[in-house]
Amino acid sequence: MMPSIAHADIPLKAKQLIDTVKEKTKIIDNVYSLNEVEQNEILCTALNLYHEARGEDDFHQWAVVNVVANRVKHRLFPSSFCGVIWDKGQFTWTRRALEVNLPRERKSWIESQRKAYQVFTGKRTDDPTKGATHFYQSRLNPKWATRLVDKVRIGVHVFARMP
């Protein structure tokens, strides 16, 4: 199992979103079988996957969820899934209003939870990104990406890691 943080360490906006998600959406049984901190970590990860890769193929979705897991293991990033996802400026969806971030597509939301659960609990360990800590849309070529190595294109994104 991956490292996790105390419930109080989740940013307030993330805590509010997780509480609302638990109240208003379907949560898979596997998630409810875990303690609250682990539930929050999985739901943060599932929300990120839902907003970043909903509609992409399975391979691409596995790549996105693995970027978060790889950051958790990297010394320069927060040591929790929620910490990585809600780290300032890392994922644009986290800047939107709470209501906009509620999952609306049930099938995609359930699948996002399943993938997040499998990676968080270590039931799925293969990483199609080969350790990537970043991804970006290939059409953008952001300036910060020039320092990254081992670039691999998956779908519309480029996945790469810090040297």
How large a percentage of the chain has pLDDT more than 70?
94
Q: Is 145 within the bounds of a domain? A: no
Number of domains making up the chain: 1
Q: Is 157 within the bounds of a domain? A: no
Enclosing domain of residue 61: 7-126
Longest dimension (CA), the chain: 43
Q: Is 71 within the bounds of a domain? A: yes
pTM attached to this predicted model: 0.91
Q: Is 2 within the bounds of a domain? A: no
Task: Give residue 3's pLDDT.
Answer: 45
CA–CA separation, 89 and 93 (whole Å): 10
Domain of 45, CATH number, reads 1.10.10.2520
pLDDT tens track for 66-121 = 999 999 999 999 999 999 999 988 999 999 888 889 999 999 999 999 999 999 99
Q: Is 140 within the bounds of a domain? A: no
Q: Is 112 within the bounds of a domain? A: yes
pLDDT tens track for 49-61 = 999 999 999 999 9
Task: Give residue 132's pLDDT.
Answer: 97
Q: Is 144 within the bounds of a domain? A: no
Question: What angle do helix axes 58-73 and 36-53 make, rounded to 10 degrees?
Answer: 130
CA–CA separation, 115 and 124 (whole Å): 8
Q: Is 142 within the bounds of a domain? A: no
